[in-house]
Amino acid sequence: MGFRETMSRIFSTRTETGEEHPVKELQTRYYKTTKDKAMRTIEQVLTQQGLTIKRSEDDRGEIVAQTKSGKKLLLVASIITVKPYRTAVDFSCATETVLPSDFGYSRKFILALYQKLDQELTYVGSALGHELL
């Protein structure tokens, strides 16, 4: 990771996961489950973490949630079935703060969500998009 990426990660109020993310822990995660089960599990995990589900769209595979109190946080979860019983999960998390940085809060929050999902669903691997197509 270069200097520019490091600085943008430090001075950022948002974190996203993706298939080709330079940070291995923030790459798209794949689970052995259906999209519907993954969506219900993610909704439960988000509620347990103190977030309110603002919108859940089964047909699009998208969940939007935000915190009720404390540090203001907006999270969008994208759930996509790539193959039967192979479901990809990505997160986009943004914090609302007056400072130019959330000091890694959004990153830590996403990592905690993935850790919880790994316990609830059968984890297959990360960044497997090129293998599954």
User: Would you say residue 92 lies in a domain?
Assistant: yes
pTM above threshold 0.75:
yes
User: Would you say residue 112 lies in a domain?
Assistant: yes
**Whole-number Å distance between alpha carbons of 46 and 43:** 5
User: Would you say residue 106 lies in a domain?
Assistant: yes
Give pLDDT, residue 10: 66
Give pLDDT, residue 96: 87
- Structural domain span for residue 14: 3-127
Give pLDDT, residue 118: 96
CATH number at residue 26: 3.30.310.220
User: Would you say residue 132 lies in a domain?
Assistant: no
Give pLDDT, residue 22: 87
User: Would you say residue 45 lies in a domain?
Assistant: yes
Pairing of strands 72-83, 62-67: antiparallel
Which of the residues in the chain have pLDDT under 50?
Answer: none
User: Would you say residue 62 lies in a domain?
Assistant: yes
Pick the closest to residue 83 from 20, 28, 18, 133 (CA basis): 133
Adjacent-strand bridge partners of 14: 94
How many domains is the chain built from?
1
Q: For residue 48, give the 3-state DSSP assignment.
A: helix
User: Would you say residue 56 lies in a domain?
Assistant: yes
Give pLDDT, residue 108: 93
User: Would you say residue 35 lies in a domain?
Assistant: yes
